[in-house]
Structure 1
């Protein structure tokens, strides 16, 4: 028998006095019932970013003016009302299984100004096993001139931001524009030739030529982008797995700039072998402004990955991790998934829904686009991982960030929330994609400082958009700040 399917309401559907009932009648224990759902002993404080109101919106309701076509389209319904996220209809399209482009688009609109704005898409793919990729176009003259964001390429093995049967929200920023044509172009540092005057938009879907894909487009909107709070973007430097080198080798490089980091920790590993100790974690937090966050409670859960565990086991690992952080004086409410994966548990419950019961955000290692502020989906934070200055060992080559037109230039000139995921820092030459040398890390920190990009922990960034009114990030250390060496 196949595992049951769960949406974002069904995880909170059934509760008993001893805990939350999920797949197969399992009870997630260790809490008392509150408003029909079990409440963890340490629930998130509610600092999740507020929903950003659109400054321009196409809800695809009656008379929306969008069309569905393309060589890869088999059928469409421009007013489907069978599956809704909001409003009373959406556009439904089924591809023909040929791998050719299928699209929902509109041309000839009044010119749109995308300066200081990002595109927010809300859509759903019924079965992603036959999905190849997704792209979005903005342009003029029936797309003779256009920019393209290829924002999702589906993987059969790695974690995917787009999951089957879910309504997904994606933000597209200028820092992530992929290509251009006609009179539109991208400069050497990633700056587009124009950000205004667009009359055409297109949401494009490609199946993998292995069969048809059905998808729904619910809304295309413009919302204020990351630059409205962080004018030059913002970087969060994160470290996974509690390696002792975070304290011994990373901290001495980052302290002179006043740059804090976020350490995602495995509780079982603390104090063992070459790992961080509680004392060093407290020193990082209390004296250098670092954030001590969660990565897993049990080393066995981290090694297996949450997809190999039941919902009850995953919820218990989340709960124990959060309780461990609180009991040891660590204030972070943020988490990074083991192996970056937030799919379903082995009994069919979405891991990111369980994360939301205990933490305020959860980070993946998906990097097909860069994270935005505020994030589109706080429990699927994107991060660039495997950053290394080694040769021929895989990962993300350091120059991809530091060279002209690289990720740091795009962050500084177009704005985004660039979350970097590192693991072990080594004194000598890196030997795997999870290692970066201390000199390589120093070059990275200097490159960030030289571009005057602020550095903040994940928790600090999230806090900037949880107050009643949006505000600019005035309390992040000034660009180029140097502490005492």
Structure 2
């Protein structure tokens, strides 16, 4: 297979399957095939919002007129015909390894109105080992007046949304804007002073000053946001790990508001120790409208996390989990990665591509931008995690979520989809970042209600705009 065809889009989630002798063989664009995987007994229906068509699009074909530059750029090709995922070319840039900004930029465009719009970026980083961050700028006057979005900040220890050698799609909404400069400002609630009159755009990449980074930019587009359907945004309140406290302490707080949650379950844990039983799961689902989703089948697998297993071990756990959920009357096709990890398996297959064989979405704990409709990458749903009202326990302080300019204000101001990831609810004082007090949860629900933000399960959210 030539390099160009190896980089083609291979269908849903970037994968292709071929049946041989009753087996389904998984082939991925950027990893070796994982042979011998059985066909899923419960394949996902894939019910999710339609791909949102661009109202303006720059796809970086020959003659596009954008320029690569910046003191951090060592070399570039404005029309690289070797690596692309649309048309016949993309922009290729290699940084200088100096930690200084490298960019692909266009100024003097016809003035744009970004009201009711979000920005869609499609790009690829060959090797993220030396990547520091990616920033996108929109403004005017040679970007003297500009808003900026932190597209990605690379972590040397955590799971990264941007993985080596993969085409990545990111949506940037007004809820995500990081800073303003020049004549532009952000209000105390994070609202931009203007949303129109923009003539300049810049996609900027910074390496870590210890080595060069090669990146390809394929598309910069404007697509409609969903503020018309959710003028004050929408929130999904999710809980990981099947803790019994979700039934005993969270449900009594959320029921009076009519707010359902999504519980991501470990099948092995159900009915043991401090975890919910099947009867409690059914009560949450049938009486309160909650969604019973998947988190792993085996406790040991959850503890290890999928990237520490082979592709077959991961696929087997997915298969057993879906069989358990369906067998117990739980119809959710949605999943959350243990520890948020979706990197490649020990034998080189991306975990999110295995998830696509069994589930319609898979949620991470990446939160550098807020999720959107349709999700840019439904097998890497973004979520804000570690929300706690405990003191000195790490995580995300509840005050930063509910306070001025926090996640709720930004969600309400842009019509975006904010996914919150909680774990255990406690009656007293939280002792870890994975705990929130019942009083803290009550505050969170009251603040959502005060802003008139609709609360839906992940399953319900994915049913909109079909």
| TM-score under structure 2 length normalisation | 0.95
Matched, 1:28 2:37: yes
Q: Deviations over 1:257-292 (max 9, x none)?
A: 000000000000000001000000000000000000
Q: Deviations over 1:218-276 (max 9, x none)?
A: 01000011313211110000000000001000000000000000000000000000100
Unpaired stretches in structure 1, ≥5 consecutive residues: 32-39, 467-485
Matched, 1:398 2:398: yes
Counterparts of 2:287 and 2:303, CA distance in 1: 31
Aligned counterpart, 1:18: 22
Contact 2:135/2:152 (<8 A) preserved: yes
Aligned counterpart, 2:435: 435
Counterparts of 1:137 and 1:366, CA distance in 2: 21
Describe how 1:256-275 pairs up with structure 2 within 5 A: 256-275=256-275
Helix, strand or coil: the match of 2:119? strand
Helix, strand or coil: the match of 1:178? strand
Counterparts of 1:117 and 1:335, CA distance in 2: 28
Describe how 1:57-206 pairs up with structure 2 within 5 A: 57-206=57-206
Contact 1:259/1:455 (<8 A) preserved: yes
Aligned counterpart, 1:49: 49
Q: Deviations over 1:189-229 (max 9, x none)?
A: 11100000000000000001111111000010000113132
Helix, strand or coil: the match of 2:295? strand
Contact 2:9/2:85 (<8 A) preserved: no
Matched, 1:244 2:253: no
Unpaired stretches in structure 2, ≥5 consecutive residues: 1-5, 27-31
Aligned counterpart, 2:295: 295
Counterparts of 1:224 and 1:25, CA distance in 2: 37
Contact 1:105/1:202 (<8 A) preserved: yes
> How far is 1:21 from its partner?
3.2
Q: Deviations over 1:360-387 (max 9, x none)?
A: 0000000011111111000000000000
Q: Cα RMSD between the aligned structures?
A: 1.4
| TM-score under structure 1 length normalisation | 0.91
Aligned counterpart, 1:471: none
Aligned counterpart, 1:345: 345
Q: Deviations over 1:416-475 (max 9, x none)?
A: 110000000000000000000000000000000000000000010110022xxxxxxxxx
> How far is 1:25 from its partner?
6.2
Helix, strand or coil: the match of 1:326? helix
Helix, strand or coil: the match of 1:45? coil
Aligned counterpart, 1:448: 448
Aligned counterpart, 2:3: none
Contact 2:74/2:94 (<8 A) preserved: yes
- Deviation above 4 Å: which 4+ runs of structure 1? 5-8, 22-25
Helix, strand or coil: the match of 1:227? coil
Helix, strand or coil: the match of 1:246? helix
Aligned counterpart, 2:29: none
Helix, strand or coil: the match of 2:449? helix
Counterparts of 2:103 and 2:194, CA distance in 1: 24
Contact 1:180/1:186 (<8 A) preserved: yes
> How far is 1:8 from its partner?
6.2
Pick closer, same or farther for the CA change 1:451–1:305 going to 2, 3 Å. same
Contact 1:60/1:89 (<8 A) preserved: yes
> How far is 1:49 from its partner?
2.5
Contact 2:33/2:349 (<8 A) preserved: no
> How far is 1:308 from its partner?
0.7
Contact 1:7/1:166 (<8 A) preserved: no
Helix, strand or coil: the match of 2:413? helix
Contact 1:56/1:222 (<8 A) preserved: yes
> How far is 1:18 from its partner?
3.4
Helix, strand or coil: the match of 1:12? strand
Q: Deviations over 1:311-331 (max 9, x none)?
A: 001011111111111111101
Counterparts of 2:306 and 2:8, CA distance in 1: 18
Counterparts of 2:391 and 2:465, CA distance in 1: 40
